[in-house]
Amino acid sequence: MNATGYNFAYLDEQTKRMIRRAILKAVAIPGYQVPFGGREMPLPYGWGTGGIQVTASIIGADDVLKVIDQGADDTTNAVNIRRFFAKTAGVTTTEHTTDATIIQTRHRIPEVLLSAHQTIVYQVPTPEPLRWIEPREAETRKMHALTEYGIMHVGLYEDIARFGRVTTSYNYPVRVNARYVMSPSPIPKFDNPKMDQMDALQLFGAGREKRVYAIPPHTSVESLDFEDHPFQIETWEERCALCDADDSFLDEVITDDAGTRMHVCSDSDYCRDRQEAGHVGDGGPE
């Protein structure tokens, strides 16, 4: 541990106990948002304060931490959070998904399947999926208690009536264990199917709203849809310009002032692994 004058993993023990108890209840009631006493963290809301508090509460000296932001290990947010825990908890960090025991993420789930020894921690800006429809917390609590979710389908139906399809492409609401409707955090809906029956434990931390929630391993996670308009994920005609992948979530990158663009994997570790294994893309436009 490099930093002195801090408790292990930055948070004090009283705070960790409180968050740990909240996490245990969150796991016991899949998809239900447990309120917790969120603390001030040394970075602003919106930079992952919820995820960091969850990670700080679960992490131990022998954990290996990976942090991704929009799928990439090398973005400012990811680098900062990784360094934060290397400093305050002395843990080993990695960019390799398979080597990590804890993966903190913003906006993506890694492309490779996560396994039972791993825990994924999502950073969540808005934990309440009903908030867009009902601004009052007391009301949304009651709606969850009474399983009153019809209005969520009305929202999706309005999309279909207007555009012929559901246009929500990220933060696509899911139903956990056939009970609670839950916000999966702003991951693309491409990642939603990965949450279903995942081998790894999934924890969600919302710092500004002070909520934690969880999906235990091997739990059903269903994206809301209709029989005649089943849930569908994004597809691309392009392949990754660097690793030729046709099965991963692609980012469109503009490469010059003339609007030339290429598609590359959003998951930087997945892309590098494939390139090291000899897969070569077309390199994008000249």
| Residue positions annotated with a catalytic role | 31, 240, 243, 265, 271
User: Using CB under 8 A as the criterion, what x/- string covers residues 136-155 for binding other proteins?
Assistant: -----xx-xxx---------
Determine if 131 is a binding residue for other proteins (CB under 8 A).
no
Determine if 21 is a binding residue for other proteins (CB under 8 A).
yes
- Pick the closer one to other proteins by CB: 44 or 135: 135
Q: Give the nearest distance from C-beta 229 to other proteins in angstroms.
A: 27
Please say whether the beta carbons of 19 and 53 come within 8 A: yes
Sheet holding 64-69, edge to edge: 34-35, 211-215, 201-206, 119-123, 102-106, 64-69, 92-93
Q: If binding means CB under 8 A, how many residues of this protein chain bind other proteins?
A: 41
Q: Give the nearest distance from C-beta 177 to other proteins in angstroms.
A: 5
Q: Which two tokens stand for residue 83?
A: 């360094």
Segment contacting other proteins (CB under 8 A): 18-26, 157-165, 231-239, 271-279?
Answer: 18-26
Determine if 3 is a binding residue for other proteins (CB under 8 A).
no
User: Using CB under 8 A as the criterion, what x/- string covers residues 197-236 for binding other proteins?
Assistant: ----x-------------xxxxx-----------------
Determine if 25 is a binding residue for other proteins (CB under 8 A).
yes
Q: Give the nearest distance from C-beta 59 to other proteins in angstroms.
A: 7
Three-state helix/strand/coil letters over 214-274: EECCCCCEEECCECCECCCCCCCCCCCCCCCCCCCCEEEEECCCCCCEEEEECCHHHHHHH
Q: Using CB under 8 A, pick the residue from 1, 3, 17, 113 that binds other proteins.
A: 17
Q: Using CB under 8 A, pick the residue from 41, 52, 59, 114 that binds other proteins.
A: 59
Rama region for 259: left / alpha / beta (φ>0; ψ in -120 to 50; rest): left
* Contacting positions for other proteins (CB under 8 A): 7-9, 13-14, 16-18, 20-30, 32, 34-35, 57-61, 141-142, 144-146, 177, 179-180, 201, 215-219
